[in-house]
Structure 1
């Protein structure tokens, strides 16, 4: 019950490996259930709040798109829970391989890119505040958001079309295997592009905050504290997405037979499942961004007292 013979392919070579599924069938379904329940509760509230918040800034446009991506990701989790735990019908594995896993990754990359765009927005508003009105183009932000959804959808769509059975890699058409590898590489490229961009943005933001602190000649600076909140974005990005992408290529190599050692394949598989769970925690981490950086969001939370300080550079007004 806890064992599965994994067949990978590398050209004409077939590689068999017995995979121990004890952890993935017992531990991870529980962990994903926790994320699902917390995510549903948080995003019912988040969705209702943002429905009542007008899209008057670039930042709120990106946050609203993030909420939608989070909700879609949350809705894919029950399929994985039922499939991994073995309590769902046998067809559930087909649904996961062909549809829900693909949609999960689409939503993940949309969220990843949106965090990068939020990082850019924070960079402009803190480092170049005089350019704020020029850069705060809501219509442009909406077009960028739509473009992100369309591009990611089109990149991952062939993974649905070119999948024919429950084994997510072996039963793909030859073109499907190549597209799977290509999309995996593109996903890693997207991650590193956003990662490098955010590193540059937040390095400059850090210097700006430090300079403001030195110039103020005060040990406690409310403005500096407000600006420090922006680092929640990079913290969520690194915690949720960095570990998964460090494992993404090695795992793809096990799928296509480049890595043939069975013991190493099993270790990479467990590491991939662990880091993929961390990536899924993004749906319960994003609300921290909403609360800490979006004042209109905080004002609509029942019982939440928002600061009345008018000097809130890190907040959207």
Structure 2
């Protein structure tokens, strides 16, 4: 029926497959494993998400402040601003998970996570993924085809495309909210799928497959753009040495995008494959379920780390962002320091000649 993509966690009894047997040597360590699960769910993960939440608020708050002073001069800057918005919305879902994991919320608080929080989390995660793909295409067009169709480079086209991305993501997310309409009880609250109507379960599975295909498409685009840019720069560096340094910066910038994408999103989607495209989870024993559960939670945390790694993209890829940051921090860049030193030396030479002429 597909992988249950929710923040919430199943109790230990539901980690067992229906009809599966517990190994005879597992009973001795069952209490120890239960304690380990409780520590992992109620201590380790909440602390990690709390640190991530604080770091994301600081970094993305700074990014909002910097981007507020930067005009939408290029499509690249506009895409980055959209990622900031998606990351902030995604960050605001973390406190709900933290409150639930440490047991502060009421028993029905999990229904809020299932209906609203997890939907917002995944919608904005895949929104960031799409905009990372659009940034890669933008870098490819600027480097490889700088004299292509001018409409592709216009801010108007970028704004329309960005609006389309948000509308599509909202269209996929809203039915998951609306169709999670089953009255929560203490019996069904442990599984988000039980809170969905039959149509909601079907829509949930459709969205899983669509977003999985979307991830694969963006992955192919990223790799293709990186290879195309690298080849083009390698060829052009032999012919035009003066232009190769500037284009190498574009190549380095897309490397940052690829690195963030592979670090945050690839492990999670690889971990999700056995559940998304098959029913292997029904044939696994308790220990295999727990291993996959830990892998899912840690790779899900890695995907959440995207909200703190995206500011690295802003700093290394967006010259306007780094300049504005240095300006607001009263820190000079290396090029500005060199220009300032050269102007001081020229003024000293001018004063010297003026003095000697007297």
State the Cα deviation string for residues 143-186 of structure 1 (Å, max 9, x = none). Answer: 11111111111112222122233321233222222222211111
Does 2:218 match 1:188?
Answer: no
Q: Name the larger-Rg structure.
A: 2
Contact 1:8 1:256 in 2 (8 A): no
Contact 2:21 2:285 in 1 (8 A): no
* 2:63 match: 46
State the Cα deviation string for residues 30-74 of structure 1 (Å, max 9, x = none). Answer: 111111001000111111111121112111111111110000000
- Distance between the aligned counterparts of 1:307 and 1:60, measured in 2? 23
* 2:13 match: 5
Q: Secondary structure at the match of 2:287?
A: helix
Compared CA separation, residues 16 and 158, structure 1 to 2 (3 A): farther
* 1:248 match: 272
Q: Secondary structure at the match of 2:13?
A: strand
Of the three residues 300, 313, 324, the one matched with 1:289 is 313
* 2:5 match: none
Q: Which runs of structure 2 are paired with 1:200-219 in the superposition (5 Å)?
A: 200-215=224-239
* 2:6 match: none
Of the three residues 171, 174, 199, the one matched with 1:157 is 174
Contact 1:125 1:132 in 2 (8 A): no
* TM-score normalized by the length of structure 2: 0.76
Q: Which runs of structure 2 are paired with 1:1-317 in the superposition (5 Å)?
A: 3-6=11-14, 20-131=37-148, 133-163=150-180, 164=182, 165=184, 166=189, 167-215=191-239, 222-223=245-246, 225-227=248-250, 228-252=252-276, 258-259=282-283, 261-301=285-325, 302-303=328-329, 304-306=331-333, 308=335
Give the number of the structure whose residues are more often helix, by fraction.
2
Q: Secondary structure at the match of 1:169?
A: helix
Give the number of the structure whose residues are more often strand, by fraction.
1
Compared CA separation, residues 172 and 16, structure 1 to 2 (3 A): farther
- Distance between the aligned counterparts of 1:95 and 1:15, measured in 2? 31
Unpaired runs of 5+ residues, structure 1, are: 310-317
Post-superposition, which runs of at least 4 consecutive aligned residues in structure 1 deviate over 6 A? 13-19, 253-257
- Distance between the aligned counterparts of 1:27 and 1:192, measured in 2? 31
Unpaired runs of 5+ residues, structure 2, are: 1-9, 23-29, 337-358
Contact 2:16 2:289 in 1 (8 A): no
Q: Secondary structure at the match of 1:189?
A: helix
Contact 2:76 2:135 in 1 (8 A): yes
* TM-score normalized by the length of structure 1: 0.86
